[in-house]
């Protein structure tokens, strides 16, 4: 009677059919109706159920639905058999798509928010189970559909005129009268920054919020923010003034945004059930390893890295999170590549640090990886995301920029971090000497970033003119 645990897709996106192993003998049977570790590994979303409801149906032909509810659910049968029918009532190209399936003790179906759920009992004494990731509320908004809608044309085993149907379920609207369930919103925090701008551009329908609209450094503002109807929050807001973070004021500002504010956002993600995407840094490591994986222990050197590490720990407890750890970010605005391009255009011969090694990360790749993880439903967790190719020093990158700009690469002179910072007034934060992040996990998830030279060409071609930045 036992079968292998298997998850298969259907024509309705996100609607998944689960074959459950059922173990039986002369006494009866046993099954694991929800087993998080095994089922997530098999392909079910880690949807975080919080309520279990059960419906008993006495006679054959009881027909319930079609109801699209504002939560995800795993439906199954504890006793008997039903004919299940699901209709996509979400806005988009699959609106009205139908899938039908016979459910018994060995079959369950994962139903994403906005997909209409209905069933008809094929045996007496059916016990039907709902495992949902939000608490039922009389104030919840449901989208309904007529069981007999001609456009959907569900082939009910027992004709509806002979079925047991409530008067309420008989009065639902036709598909042509249904307002499609809107997609849950995607918010991008820090939308004015170099990464935030790119994220708003690549994430479909994303709404960008600047610091003036939601200040992450103010936990009370995060707590008071209305996250209803929000499905994804992408946090590109951060305090990134690495050296200033070593001052008393900078230390407080770094911890307020990178740690305390992120913890408030993590609490909101747990409370409201949205997916949280957050960006980490190579600065959470001390730079003593040749390469860092997602599992390596945090060991930050300076205040900036310490505040980012604290934020990472807060995000890690959110059930639905993507933590993207990156290095040497380049996008719109001030950055190392823009600075070097400006110096090359003016014929300046710079001294550039050669004893710090890592990889550039263009915001196009970082935003692209984000969109890929969200759209493919990749397993939640931490992913390293940088540019591809071999690691470089800052001096190597400078020479590559000079070459791409047609400038003399021999004018770039190597220096050490110690010598470069010797003449700097004010505090200087410690930097990890080696910031090479393993890319095995993100490439296994199906995203391959551009190499350094390809990224540089695309970035420099897109620039309107030289932009000033700050040093090496």
Q: What is the average pLDDT across 348-373?
A: 96
Q: Name the band, by pLDDT with cuts 50, 70 and 90, for residue 260.
A: very high
For residue 61, what pLDDT is reported? 98
**What pLDDT score does 29 carry?**
95
Q: pLDDT value at position 471?
A: 32
> Mean of the pLDDT values across residues 279-293?
97
Which residues form the catalytic set? 67, 130
pLDDT confidence of residue 377: 84
Give the chain's mean pLDDT: 94
Give how far Cα 438 sits from Cα of 236, 359, 369, 384, Å: 22, 11, 15, 7
Q: Which residues contact 65 (CB under 8 A, 6 or more apart)?
A: 85, 116, 117, 118, 119, 145, 147, 169
More confident residue, 204 or 257: 257
* pLDDT tens column, 94-113: 999 999 999 999 999 999 99
- Tell me the DSSP string of 211-235: TTT--TT-HHHHHHS--TTEEEEEE
Question: Which pLDDT score, from 0 to 100, does residue 2 have?
Answer: 56
Note the pLDDT tens digit of each residue in 34-60. 999 999 889 898 888 999 999 999 999
The two three-digit tokens of residue 193, written as one number: 């920054």
Alpha-carbon distance 36 to 396, whole Å?
A: 47
- Residue at token pair 């090496």: 472
- Please tell me what DSSP assigns to residue 20: P
List, in order of start, the domains of the chain with CATH numbers.
6-177 (2.60.120.10), 185-462 (3.40.50.720)
What was the pLDDT predicted at 136? 86
Instruction: Report whether pLDDT(413) > 90.
Output: yes
Q: Report residue 1's pLDDT band, with 50, 70 and 90 as the boundaries.
A: low
What pTM value is reported for the model?
A: 0.80
pLDDT at 470 over 50: no
Tokens of 339: 């600075």
Length of the chain: 472
Identify which has the larger pLDDT, 21 or 1.
Answer: 21
Query: Within 110-218, where are the H helices?
Result: 167-170, 194-202
First to last CA, the chain: 66
Distance CA 414, CA 420 (A): 10
Q: Which residues contact 237 (CB under 8 A, 6 or more apart)?
A: 189, 190, 193, 196, 211, 216, 257, 261
What confidence score (pLDDT) does residue 462 get? 86
pLDDT value, residue 3 = 72
State the average pLDDT over residues 360-377. Answer: 95
C-alpha separations of 305 from 34, 38, 286, 368, 419 in Å: 39, 35, 9, 25, 22
Per residue in 427-458, pLDDT tens?
999 999 999 999 999 999 999 999 999 999 99
What pLDDT sits at residue 463? Answer: 78
Give pLDDT, residue 468.
Answer: 38
């Amino acid at each position: 009677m036992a079968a292998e645990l298997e998850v298969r897709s259907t024509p309705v996106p996100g609607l998944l059919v689960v074959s459950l192993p059922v173990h039986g003998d002369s006494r009866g049977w046993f099954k694991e109706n929800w087993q998080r570790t095994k089922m997530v590994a098999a392909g079910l979303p880690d949807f975080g159920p919080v309520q279990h409801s059960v419906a008993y149906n006495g006679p054959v032909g009881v027909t319930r639905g079609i109801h699209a509810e504002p939560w995800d659910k795993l439906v199954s049968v504890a006793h008997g058999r039903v004919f299940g029918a699901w209709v996509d009532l979400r806005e988009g190209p699959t609106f009205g798509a139908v899938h039908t399936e016979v459910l018994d003790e060995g079959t369950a179906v994962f139903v994403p928010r906005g997909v209409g759920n209905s069933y008809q009992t094929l045996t007496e004494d059916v016990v039907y189970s709902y495992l949902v990731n939000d608490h039922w509320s009389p104030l919840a908004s449901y989208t309904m559909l007529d069981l007999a809608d001609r456009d959907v044309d569900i082939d009910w085993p027992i004709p509806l005129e002979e079925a047991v149907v409530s008067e309420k379920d008989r009065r639902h609207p036709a598909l042509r009268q249904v307002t499609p369930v809107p997609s849950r919103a995607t918010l991008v925090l820090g939308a004015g920054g170099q990464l935030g701008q790119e994220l708003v551009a690549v994430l479909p329908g994303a709404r960008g919020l600047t610091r003036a609209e939601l200040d992450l450094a103010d936990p009370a503002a995060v707590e008071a923010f209305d996250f209803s109807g929000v499905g994804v929050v992408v946090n590109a807001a951060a305090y990134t003034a690495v050296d200033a973070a070593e001052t008393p004021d900078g230390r407080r500002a770094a911890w307020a945004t990178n740690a305390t504010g992120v913890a408030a956002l993590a609490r909101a993600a747990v409370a409201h059930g949205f997916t949280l995407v957050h960006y980490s840094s190579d600065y959470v490591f001390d730079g003593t390893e040749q390469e860092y994986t997602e599992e390596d222990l945090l060991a930050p050197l300076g205040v900036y890295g310490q505040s980012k590490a604290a934020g990472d720990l807060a995000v890690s407890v959110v059930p639905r999170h993507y933590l993207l750890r990156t290095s040497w970010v380049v996008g719109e605005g001030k950055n190392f590549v823009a600075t070097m391009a400006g110096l090359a255009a003016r014929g300046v011969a710079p001294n550039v640090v050669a004893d710090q090694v890592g990889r550039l990360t263009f915001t196009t790749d970082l935003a692209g990886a984000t969109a890929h993880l969200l759209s493919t439903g990749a397993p939640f967790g931490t992913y390293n995301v940088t540019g591809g190719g071999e690691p470089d020093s800052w001096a190597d990158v400078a020479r590559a920029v000079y070459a791409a700009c047609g400038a003399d690469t021999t004018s770039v002179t190597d220096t050490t971090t110690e010598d470069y910072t010797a003449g700097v007034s004010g505090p200087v934060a410690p930097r990890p000497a080696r910031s090479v992040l393993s890319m095995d996990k993100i490439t296994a998830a199906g995203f391959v970033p551009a190499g350094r030279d390809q990224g540089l060409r695309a970035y420099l071609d897109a620039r309107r003119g030289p932009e000033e930045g700050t040093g090496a």
